[in-house]
Amino acid sequence: MNADSRAVRSSSFSRIVNTAGVYGIALLFLVLGLLLQLTGAIGNFLSVQNMLNIVDAVALVGIVAVGMSFVTYSGHYADMSVPTTMGFTGYICIELLRYGFLPAILGALVVGLLIGLLNGFVIGKFKANPIIWTLAVNYVTLGIIRLVWVNKQIYPDLQGSGQAAVALFDSIYRLRFFHLIGLPLVILIILVVVGQFVLTRTSFGVKLKVTGSALRAAKFSGIDVERVILVSFVLAAFTATIAGLAVTSLSRVGAWYNGAGYDFKAVTAIVIGGMTLAGGRGSILGVLGGSLIIGILNNIMTLVGIGTFSQDMVRGAIFIIVVGINAVSLRSLGRDDA
Amino acid sequence: MKRATMILIALALVSLFAAPVFAQSANLKASLAIDTKVLKSADGQLLLAPSTDNRKVPARPASPDALPETNPLHWYDMEWAGWNVTPMNIPQSPADGAIGKKIIMIVHGDHPWTTACILGGKKVADLYKMSFKALSPNWDKDKQDQLIDQAINEKPDMILLIPLDAKGAVQQARKINQAGIPLHMFNTLPDAAALNYSLGWTGPDDFGQFRLLARAWADELQKKNPGSAPIGVAYVQHAPGGSPYFARSFGPISELATYAPRIKTLEKASPTPATFDANTTMQLVSDWLTKYGKDLKGICASDDSAQSLGIFQALEKAGRTDVVVVAAGNSKQGMDLVKDGKLFGITYQTAEGDGGLAVSYAADWFNGKKMPLRQNLAQHIITKADVAGFYPPQW
Amino acid sequence: MRKMEKSRLLAFSDKYRIYLLFVAVFAVMSLFAPRFFALQNMTSILNAIAMNATVAIGFTVVMICGQLDLSIGAVITFAGVLTMGLEPLLGFPGAIAVAIAGGAFVGLLNGLLVAKAKINSFIVTLGTMTILQGSIYQFSGGNSIGITTPQAFAISDFLGVSLIPLVTPRILIAILLVVAVELFLRRSRAGRNFYLVGGNKNTAWFAGINTDRYQIAAFVISGVTAAVGGICSVLVSTAATLKLGENSLMYVISATIIGGTAMSGGKGGVLRSVIAIFTLEMLYTGIILFGLGNEVKIFFAGLILAYVVLYEAYATYKHDKSLGQRPELMKEIKKRRTASGGA
């Protein structure tokens, strides 16, 4: 029983699934929505407004997922310090608003970068377990936030000349181009384009792939593995900072719970998007696709009227099914254990 | 000489025995003299504003569950909890004043709101020179049970508790009662059976506030939509299971069933998986707007911060300025939205007052005052007209 | 001579690190924290860790096999909700049996997906966690489920009564399970095979061990212990809240790592994880007794975990760096270099 015969037997379904990939699944859901609309079960599914709502809803998760996918691609699973990085950078930005909008943004970015550097250094150089280490950093950051700001939340609220900075901050989430496309969405698209380019067309992308597929081989072939891992965690922290500023801008408050849940949400999007947790396989476009699938699914379920609890069950089931099909199809095509 | 010494000794003995009694009544006198009306909360309002609600408690129907959900009396056991209890072994007040008493407050979780609540409690406790300690289980029921055990071990003069779970509160109250420690519950409503073991309950009257809010909301909706066509509204609910989940949706629904029957409930749901997340609420409301279009004319939210911000994001994207939105208050974001003319009205719910009233209740009990089983915080609906008076925000 | 003693001491403290930490924390807290060294306080701590200790048993077994089970928190809540929800229909014994079976079923599902479908355990258990959370809400309608009958109170009171000082029935159940599983893992052939499967799966397979079966068994054990933890908790609490197991995952992962069980599998122990939980809880209780807030607790929880992870990683780093080197010869080279003036 060799790989080839297995491949021949189960190839057609697996090959379709594999080439279609995540966008195939997304298309499937869109068709489902369209069918439901045509049969009158739901209305206005395929309207511009609804489509925009879908992407708006997943923009923040998408931003986080793009950065985190570099960590996943490098074979380091996920960055669990994202939630408190988001919260912490929000606090920093609001505190620094009194010095102006740009200094505040820069300050937040610097703090985020520092967290990324810390994670990347410890995991890259000492090979600490990424999940546990970033979890520990998450806790420590949470403790710091609550200690420094004494269990309070802070508001972007300045008098006089400071109001301009506050207004700019408020518009991070609320700015719309042509009254339609929000800033977070624009940022997401830019990040996806740049990220995909970096992953597929730069030498860093190649190094990342080798690191993710075979760490030892990467080292022996002269790749500075530690630098590669460092950069991937910095990227994850970078997008977490951007998303953190957006969430803080949306909720108009610096709170320690602002980023809650984004770690698992991002991993879900990444994995549904076809990136394997073991590393070395997947694409940023896939990550975007994964986020879109979640958005479309949520939208259809609410329009149909599926109760919110049932939605959770459906999401979990779809998650396992999509990942399972992906893994099984990869394996039956003889392409490694996902 | 002998006589003088005898008299002196007698006087000494008398004062020895009388001293505690005198001290007690000195304590009582001093603590009765303390006036809590001097205390203010961070927003400049009176910390302990008296309630102006003078509604009569209705008679309990034979079986409330049998009544339809749109009938206010269906919610009787939740709305009027505390008005009918069978006290079990409730300790008697020592009536020796509140000064120097030791109280432990166990809240439900960590949140800026509870930070403010504890602050309010501390303000009153400091005024009465009570020893005050606050513990938080951070939303974990198992942990709250453990904190109750720890508190019982410390043998305080009273435990003040925000029960994390309505049904589970019964066993918690039993345990404290069995340990012989006076218990007072506040903020979240426990199952009616739990109040049998408690001195009483204080807190916001969620149902009452939301009936008030519903009427103001209905008046505005009917003003904006003259005629007799039905007015469609939706409810963004609280975290499922707790009393606000029911009070802030079924309260208005059952009130409007008779007050403004034109108003029809199109949807009610709690954003999932994160109930108080602006992004998730925005998603939910956007989908509702897609589904119902112009038929959706009003939204009632269980939170005026994250939920309301999400609602207005959705409304602005859809270009809808005609929707009348009300919410439970009162956070800074909510008050800002009222000031900007977006939120029509929010309920005033003082966090500091909540903690403060609980401690004040304890102090009054230590003073030997006969306490009502239930005392509500003052009710008020904040609108654009008076929102300026509630800054700076308490939390 | 001195060097050998030093390295032996180091090896001893490495292996029994968690026990040393336990003694240290206990000593410090007893001496400095008010009211810590009191019977009621220690009993209260033991009661507090009963649930997480039980859950940690199964979680450690899964980690010994080199896998991760993220669904334990959801299983705790699931079992609790089933127990309270089905009690009116089946009575407590019936409801408890169904809840345990439910936990075992989830474990079986996890195990099959990991072992047979060969999907990464992080993903599988993330998925089952999400599905379970949805089912819990669906089953309970979003409400918590409480029982306020005299029978429920009697059970709750009984579980909390001190049979001997420090030991209540609730604590006793946890102790019995810990002892049973630890002895099983250390003393029986089947138990030791778990370590082999985790240490090097292929080698274990070549040695004739049915690795799939052991992995599935590990997840089933995890599901069952999580269920038992949840059941005991709701029986004491008389209510199943929907957020019950939420904090358990992080707490148990931290404790298992701190206790010396590695994510890579093949080493560690159930007793160590439980002692780690005990130690952490003593620390947290002490912090609260000092009058400090939850934020200090969270900060130290993260700091300790970070320290342990860093320590382990650094030790491996040092070890890997010196792989293949012979320290005595290295020293000679160094001596020669400095002698020749760094040429």
Res A332 pLDDT > 80: no
C317 and C171 in a single domain? The answer is no
CA atoms within 13 A on the CB side of B391: 13
Confidence category of residue C207, pLDDT binned at 50, 70, 90: confident
Q: What is the mean pLDDT of chain B?
A: 90
B210 and B339 in a single domain? The answer is yes
Report pLDDT for A14.
65
Cα B259 to its chain centre, rounded Å, is 25
Confidence category of residue C336, pLDDT binned at 50, 70, 90: confident
Res A90 pLDDT > 90: yes
- Note down the domain range covering B246: 206-347
Cβ of A325 under 8 Å from any chain C Cβ?
A: no
Least confident of B64-78, B248-262, B341-355, C101-115: B64-78
pLDDT in tens, C127-148: 899 889 888 888 887 778 888 8
C315 and C218 in a single domain? The answer is no
Cβ of A50 under 8 Å from any chain C Cβ?
A: no
Between the alpha carbon of residue C335 and those of residues B56, C4, C321, C330, the distances in Å are: 95, 22, 20, 9
A126 and C313 in contact by Cβ < 8 A? yes
C275 and C320 in a single domain? The answer is no
CA distance C289 to chain A (A): 18
- Note down the domain range covering C207: 2-292
A140 and C302 in contact by Cβ < 8 A? yes
Distance CA A301, CA A308 (A): 9
Res A248 pLDDT > 60: yes
CA atoms within 13 A on the CB side of A137: 30
CB pairs below 8 Å between B and C: how many?
Answer: 92
B322 and B369 in a single domain? The answer is no
Q: What is the mean pLDDT of chain A?
A: 87
Report pLDDT for A312.
79
The CATH number that applies at residue B171 is: 3.40.50.2300
CATH 2.40.128 fits domain A22-328: no
Helices (H), C141-210: 150-159, 169-187, 189-199, 201-206
Burial classification of residue B343, based on how many CB atoms lie within 10 Å of its CB (0-12 exposed, 13-18 middle, 19 or more buried): buried
Check residues C265 and A288 and name the one with the higher pLDDT. A288
Distance CA B255, CA B209 (A): 11
Confidence category of residue A13, pLDDT binned at 50, 70, 90: low
Closest-CA residue of A relative to C124 is: A320
B281 and B341 in a single domain? The answer is yes
B218 and B108 in a single domain? The answer is no
pLDDT in tens, A34-68: 888 888 777 778 888 888 889 998 999 999 999 99
Distance CA A13, CA A34 (A): 24
Cβ of A142 under 8 Å from any chain C Cβ?
A: yes
CB pairs below 8 Å between A and B: how many?
Answer: 91
Question: What SS3 class is residue B103?
Answer: strand
Do B204 and B243 form a contact (C-beta atoms < 8 A)? no
B283 and A298 in contact by Cβ < 8 A? yes
C243 and C105 in a single domain? The answer is yes
* Residues of chain B contacting residue C230, judged by C-beta atoms under 8 Å apart: none
Least confident of A241-250, B122-131, C130-139: C130-139
Among C126, C130, C312, select the one facing A312 at the smallest CB separation. Answer: C130
C234 and C322 in a single domain? The answer is no
- Considering its fold, how many domains does chain C have in total? 2
Res A4 pLDDT > 60: no
Structure tokens at A87: 């919260």
Flag whether B382 is in a domain.
no
C133 and B273 in contact by Cβ < 8 A? yes
Least confident of A273-287, B115-129, B215-229: A273-287
Closest-CA residue of A relative to C142 is: A309
A311 and C113 in contact by Cβ < 8 A? no
C302 and A323 in contact by Cβ < 8 A? no
C272 and C336 in a single domain? The answer is no
Report pLDDT for B242.
75
Confidence category of residue B23, pLDDT binned at 50, 70, 90: low
Res C341 pLDDT > 70: no
B contact test, residue of A158, A163, A253 with most B CBs within 10 A: A253
Cβ of A220 under 8 Å from any chain C Cβ?
A: no
pLDDT in tens, A278-319: 788 888 999 999 999 999 988 888 888 887 778 878 888 888
C312 and C288 in a single domain? The answer is no
Other C-beta atoms closer than 10 Å to the C-beta of A295 total 24
Report pLDDT for A10.
52
C65 and C209 in a single domain? The answer is yes
The candidate with the shortest Cα–Cα distance to C234, out of C96, C134, C28, C98, is C96
Average pLDDT on B284-305 reads 93
Among A128, A307, A311, select the one facing C309 at the smallest CB separation. Answer: A128
Closest-CA residue of B relative to C134 is: B273
Confidence category of residue A150, pLDDT binned at 50, 70, 90: confident
User: SS in 3 state form for chain A?
Assistant: CCHHHHHHHCHHHHHHHHHHHHHHHHHHHHHHHHHHHHCCCCCCCCCHHHHHHHHHHHHHHHHHHHHHHHHHHCCCCCCCCHHHHHHHHHHHHHHHHHHCHHHHHHHHHHHHHHHHHHHHHHHHHHCCCHHHHHHHHHHHHHHHHHHHCCCCCECCCCCCCHHHHHHHHHHHHHCEECCCEEHHHHHHHHHHHHHHHHHHHCHHHHHHHHHHHCHHHHHHCCCCHHHHHHHHHHHHHHHHHHHHHHHHHHHCCECCCCCCCHHHHHHHHHHHCCCCCCCCCCCHHHHHHHHHHHHHHHHHHHHHCCCHHHHHHHHHHHHHHHHHHHHHHHHHCCCCCC
Q: Choose the most confident range, by mean pLDDT, from A271-285, B162-176, C71-85.
A: C71-85
* Residues of chain C contacting residue A322, judged by C-beta atoms under 8 Å apart: none
Res A7 pLDDT > 50: no
CA distance A231 to chain B (A): 29
Flag whether B253 is in a domain.
yes
C278 and C306 in a single domain? The answer is no
Report pLDDT for C318.
84
A 305-324 near C (Cβ less than 8 A):
307-317, 319-320, 323-324
Check residues C181 and A303 and name the one with the higher pLDDT. C181
Confidence category of residue C2, pLDDT binned at 50, 70, 90: low
Between the alpha carbon of residue A28 and those of residues A23, A35, A275, A292, A296, the distances in Å are: 8, 11, 19, 12, 10
Distance CA C10, CA C7 (A): 5
Report pLDDT for A336.
59
Check residues B208 and A327 and name the one with the higher pLDDT. B208
A150 and B286 in contact by Cβ < 8 A? no
Report pLDDT for C3.
62
C123 and C49 in a single domain? The answer is yes
C161 and C33 in a single domain? The answer is yes
Res A2 pLDDT > 50: no
- Considering its fold, how many domains does chain B have in total? 2
Domain range list for chain A: 22-328
C123 and C183 in a single domain? The answer is yes
